[in-house]
Structure 1
């Protein structure tokens, strides 16, 4: 199994290659910890439109599956003294056939109690829960709300982040500057992100916290379908429309903005986030997503309700710019298919329960009612055991 082999390698070498034996003796041993989620789910009560349009939600269909939300991770950290430290996190996910990948691998330097800089592979600070996105034990859901937390096709980058912690009266303030790049091959095709730059700012006072963030980047996306459409539009002399499908880092800028709030007062928890995503001068639709969630703790049991929604209008002007003539009928149909696939009108209501049956483990149950205007309706039942070690 790839995940076991990879973990054996990491366990055997850890970060020892970065340290001499003498240095290890001075600064102490490698700190190891990890987390595991074993989750299963099944979709039922789906309508015909849901079955025709892929027939899945959050990776699940009408066959019971234990892959989409199951994962295992191991994290190693070394304190090199005098403000310098190294962190690496290896994660194997079920939806990637448990192929292990480094989600984190970075060097940190703390100048003082206020200033800190990180270099390497890091998590993009998109969301409230970005720092522990994969650690399901850390939140009351089985998975974070999908409309918001799936609004971007990536969540890590290679680069640098600078953090500044301070006090603003009675408020704790944390500001983070981000710069870097990302390359990957998701299902949509080759994704290339460059000049990723942004700022996030969080404020916390007692039981209340708020966070805002804004990031932008040069976006490049290519696959066979987009390349074929761009070629057809070029051959038809529609260069202005070709540019909307030739999504390159040179001329397409993506923007992401968000605001989130969280309140934890005694046994009550309330949290909500809103995000907006846009890629300028492209066929991609601007999308808005949000969720609100409330939870109540009863000793070892937590019950919660979550409502989430996503909306995006297809850019019909891209389709209408292609002459509706027989010679271009095939090209227009292809453009229409791709553009309309960007539409989104989703509402999801989830009721769930968390049972902390062990100091380091929790059992979770969730039932989600999924209403999708363009892709059909269904119900998803999920169960998981999340633990940390």
Structure 2
């Protein structure tokens, strides 16, 4: 309640000050979407959907962004964001200062977007892409989509202007909670010393891109509440069978996430030629030397633009190949090995694949109507085969 009152006071103060209003530029975006999902086994494929029911809440959102020009290359930006799946509670998603160093470089400092993958920075801006939602196999609504830190955005003109190279170098931290489907809840987690680099090389009708980000994970509570609590019976049995303390410590450390490195990387391309659209992206991520096996995701989309319409078909897949070697390297006790393998399997992300078709109609210069149908297969036993249908409007203003 106090947060809402504070935001209201700030906005009212801005609106009541003629001097401030003259300095501030407002824009924003929004989506209002009705979604319906159905699965063979009765559970919705994603938590923000309602199985067997139409919901206007799960995929609807609004954001208002204010940018104040302070002069001599300095500006301040804040984005207020509200999402239906969070009961439209308003949060300051972005809040940062920017400084234009020269025509090539611009620096941002504050609460920023964390560019995990190619479109992560604008993942929530539905109007910016041709899907009802970006393919979930890649863009799965990561909790650490923002960070507190600094970034350097640069744009280089190459070969007498024939090519453009955009780069983004970021450094920062994030502190919050991570939802784990294996336990059906959230655990406290932090990312320290986030370092990321994104590169995009483009010309008139094509682009190629790649990026990587790494961070040190602070997950002491996760290790205690999830890892140790789950494997303690196996540890007790192994000790009773003669396992050494050194082997147990090696086992616990191998499964844990605390002070391990998280590594995320992506690559892909986009083509927009003679009204034919082709996009693809591949991602890989995980916690190194831990119980988290490497996750992989990809999508390929083919579209065609005709007048105010764009029709897009796409395929996507998310997989996680279970790997015991990193988390259980050096463990000798057969009981500990069996316990660790079971834990790694249970902790593993569910896998799924899907195909879909989306129709976009730009009925207004600042608005697009979209309707889509997706059919997929999920490895979770309470989901199985599933389908999603949605219709909605994306706007920018």
The reply to whether TM is greater than 0.5 is yes
* Counterpart residue number, 1:30: 24
Deviation at 1:109, TM superposition (A): 0.5
* Counterpart residue number, 2:278: 270
| Structure 1 range deviating more: 152-161 or 125-134 | 125-134
Matched, 1:365 2:365: no
Deviation at 1:57, TM superposition (A): 2.5
Taking structure 1 as the reference length, what is the TM-score of the superposition?
0.86
Q: Deviations over 1:37-94 (max 9, x none)?
A: 11121222x223xx3xx54336222222222211111000011111101111010111
Do the aligned partners of 1:40 and 1:382 also contact (CA within 8 Å) in 2?
yes
In structure 2, C-alpha distance between the alignment counterparts of 1:12 and 1:151, rounded to whole Å: 32
In structure 2, C-alpha distance between the alignment counterparts of 1:128 and 1:310, rounded to whole Å: 17
In structure 2, C-alpha distance between the alignment counterparts of 1:41 and 1:342, rounded to whole Å: 28
* Counterpart residue number, 1:217: 215
* Counterpart residue number, 1:174: 166
**SS of residue matched to 2:37:** strand
Do the aligned partners of 1:86 and 1:108 also contact (CA within 8 Å) in 2?
yes
| Structure 1 range deviating more: 235-244 or 374-383 | 235-244
Deviation at 1:362, TM superposition (A): 1.5
**SS of residue matched to 2:250:** helix
Instruction: Tell me the C-alpha RMSD between the 2 structures.
Output: 2.9
1:48-197 to 2 correspondences below 5 Å: 48=41, 51=42, 54-57=43-46, 59-60=48-49, 61-150=51-140, 152-169=142-159, 170-188=162-180, 189-197=187-195
* Counterpart residue number, 2:297: 289
Q: In the comparison of the two structures, how many residue pairs are matched?
A: 372
Do the aligned partners of 1:179 and 1:197 also contact (CA within 8 Å) in 2?
yes
Deviation at 1:342, TM superposition (A): 0.9
In structure 2, C-alpha distance between the alignment counterparts of 1:3 and 1:184, rounded to whole Å: 18
**SS of residue matched to 1:146:** coil
**SS of residue matched to 1:80:** strand
In structure 2, C-alpha distance between the alignment counterparts of 1:228 and 1:38, rounded to whole Å: 42
* Counterpart residue number, 1:352: 358
Do the aligned partners of 2:217 and 2:257 also contact (CA within 8 Å) in 1?
yes
**SS of residue matched to 2:71:** coil
Deviation at 1:112, TM superposition (A): 0.5
Q: Deviations over 1:270-295 (max 9, x none)?
A: 11111110211111110111111111
Do the aligned partners of 1:343 and 1:374 also contact (CA within 8 Å) in 2?
no
| Structure 1 range deviating more: 373-382 or 133-142 | 373-382
In structure 1, C-alpha distance between the alignment counterparts of 2:131 and 2:272, rounded to whole Å: 15
Gaps of 5+ in 1: none
* Counterpart residue number, 2:34: 40
Gaps of 5+ in 2: 181-186, 240-244
**SS of residue matched to 2:55:** coil
2:249 pairs, out of 213, 227, 239, with 239
1:379 pairs, out of 376, 383, 387, with 387
